[in-house]
Amino acid sequence: NKALQLSGITKGYNLGKPTEVRVLNGVDLELAEGEVVAMVAPSGAGKSTLLHIAGLLDTPDTGEVKIGGKPVGGGDRARTRLRRQDVGFVYQFHHLLQEFTGLENVVLPQLANGVSRAEAEKHAQELLDRVGLKDRASHRPGELSGGEQQRVAFCRALANKPRVLLADEPTGNLDPNTSDTVFAALMELVRASGMAALIATHNLELAARMDRMVRLEAGEIVPA
């Protein structure tokens, strides 16, 4: 079963020039359920553009996105609903809410999705336990290390059990040792939940630990 299917995706920008610059030039990529794929790309290759299209934050010029085997169509409302249900995002910088505890940061997206507070807190605590933050749940982001904050962000991204996790340099701002621990935590969460993940990284060592590696090159996805 396919979690995410991108076919024939193209996207261009005008960049103030008379003719449009094609950033994506026919991207085809499929992720099976539970598959973790590394995407390596030089900066400027269109990695963020591709992740935004896969995550329904942006629309392609041509081509099709399917999530869970279903074509993503419809208006903005339908796309937003699907994005909230089926897609989790992780960025290089976590954007946690500073005035809330780690637990609350993982609880809030669940409340927004209609989960009861009791259920949401239980699930949040389970996720935090799994990434080694059992005793840190009541701390605010400012009281946590960079790696701990990023682990909270992973829990938040997975809080609503999305089908697909999209990560843009999830360990990019951490030192190598922390990066290793934090990456292991991410893999643990992803494996435990059985979701598919597309993880953009410059770190070839981390990339090699995923199920498969692809490269974004000249606007297309090619095997790495």
Which residues lie near ligand ADP (CB under 6 A)?
13, 15, 23, 41, 43-49, 57, 80, 83-84, 89, 109, 112
Nearer to ligand ADP, 97 or 134 (CB): 97
Nearer to ligand ADP, 32 or 52 (CB): 52
Nearer to ligand ADP, 15 or 118 (CB): 15
**Smallest distance from the beta carbon of 16 to ligand ADP, in angstroms?**
9
Question: Phi/psi zone of residue 47: left (φ > 0), alpha (ψ -120 to 50 degrees), beta?
Answer: alpha
**Smallest distance from the beta carbon of 208 to ligand ADP, in angstroms?**
20
Nearer to ligand ADP, 42 or 73 (CB): 42
Cβ contacts of 28 within 8 Å, gap of 6 or more = 6, 7, 8, 9, 220, 221
Nearer to ligand ADP, 103 or 180 (CB): 103
**Smallest distance from the beta carbon of 135 to ligand ADP, in angstroms?**
26
**Smallest distance from the beta carbon of 23 to ligand ADP, in angstroms?**
4
**Smallest distance from the beta carbon of 116 to ligand ADP, in angstroms?**
18
